[in-house]
Structure 1
Amino acid sequence: MSVSVTKTTGGSAEITWESTDDPHGWLARSVEGDQLAYALEALGDGEAERNTDRSESDVRQAAFFTNQLAGLLERRAAVQVVRLRDDYGLSWRQIAESIHEDPEKQSTIRRQYETGRRIIGY
């Protein structure tokens, strides 16, 4: 995949990709529909800060788009677990160590694997 994120200045970055990198249009939709912007904003927001300058409607929209992108990423991560297991033959323990930095989380990996298989249609 040739998706590239290049830091251009202190608070700026440029994202580029080829159409073959986004056959389902998820990247384009996440950028055009503000999902990515809201998700990145949430990453930088910290845990305890309260932003009372924004309207309830704006905060609802931010939460909706952030949650929508988080769900899509969870599904894509589950498919990656399937690829690691089926295409590369990694053990549950190896995948758990790679993804969760905890080889004991094998049951979590198995659940992700089953979810990924359902998504793929196996």
Structure 2
Amino acid sequence: MSVTIRKTAGHAAEITWSPKDDPHGYLAHAMESDRLAYALESLGGGETETTPELALQATRHTSALARELERRAAAQVVALRDKHGLSWRQIASVVLEDPERQSGVRRMYESGRRHLGL
């Protein structure tokens, strides 16, 4: 993986990637729109927004990034099945942490195919 996150000091980090890592501009958009920053803040469990408007903005950005990640995960499920030939059981074991949840990964697969235009 050529996207790298390097801890620089204390609680600081540096994220780097090359243009080939982001052919559709998803990484750049997540950074420029503050979606990534709000999502990371949310992961940290902090609630620093002081007004309802700022809290709504943070939630909007976090939710938008979460939806994009869901679409990207569904596309990865398509690749796992179609390109790599993995079984539903194998995919469910990794993606949903339960090999019995094969119907769940099948739904992700269908969603991914729709998103990819297949």
- Answer yes or no: same fold by TM over 0.5: yes
Q: In 2, distance between residues paired with 1:93 and 1:82?
A: 14
User: C-alpha separation between the residues in 1 aligned to 2:48 and 2:16?
Assistant: 34
Match of 1:59 among 44, 55, 61: 55
Check 1:52–1:89 CA distance in 2 against 1; reply closer, same or farther (3 A cut). Answer: closer
- 1:23 corresponding residue in structure 2: 23
What's the counterpart of residue 115 of structure 1? Answer: 111
Q: Equivalent pairs: percent with the same residue?
A: 58
SS at match of 1:24: coil
TM superposition score normalised by structure 2: 0.95
Out of 21-30 and 61-70, give the one that drifted further: 21-30
Give the C-alpha shift of residue 77 in structure 1: 0.1
Contact 2:49–2:55, Cα closer than 8 Å, also in 1: no
How far does residue 65 in structure 1 lie from its aligned partner after superposition? Answer: 0.1
Task: Give the distance between the partners of 1:39 and 1:52, measured in 2 at CA.
Answer: 13
Letter in 2 for 1:31: M
**Which aligned segments of 4 or more residues in structure 1 are displaced greater than 4 angstroms?**
none
Secondary structure, counterpart of 2:23 in structure 1: coil
Unaligned runs of 5+ in 2: none
C-alpha contact 2:92 2:100 (8 A) present in aligned 1 = yes
Structure 1: stretches of 5+ with no match in the other structure: none
Question: CA RMSD of the aligned region, Å?
Answer: 1.3
Matches within 5 A, 1:77-88: 77-88=73-84
**Greater Cα shift, 19-28 or 71-80:** 19-28
Q: Secondary structure at the match of 1:101?
A: coil
Secondary structure, in 3 states, of the residue corresponding to 1:8?
strand
Which residue identity is paired with 2:53? S
SS in 1 for 2:61: helix
TM-score of the two chains, using structure 1 as the length reference: 0.92
Residue 91 (structure 1) aligns with: 87
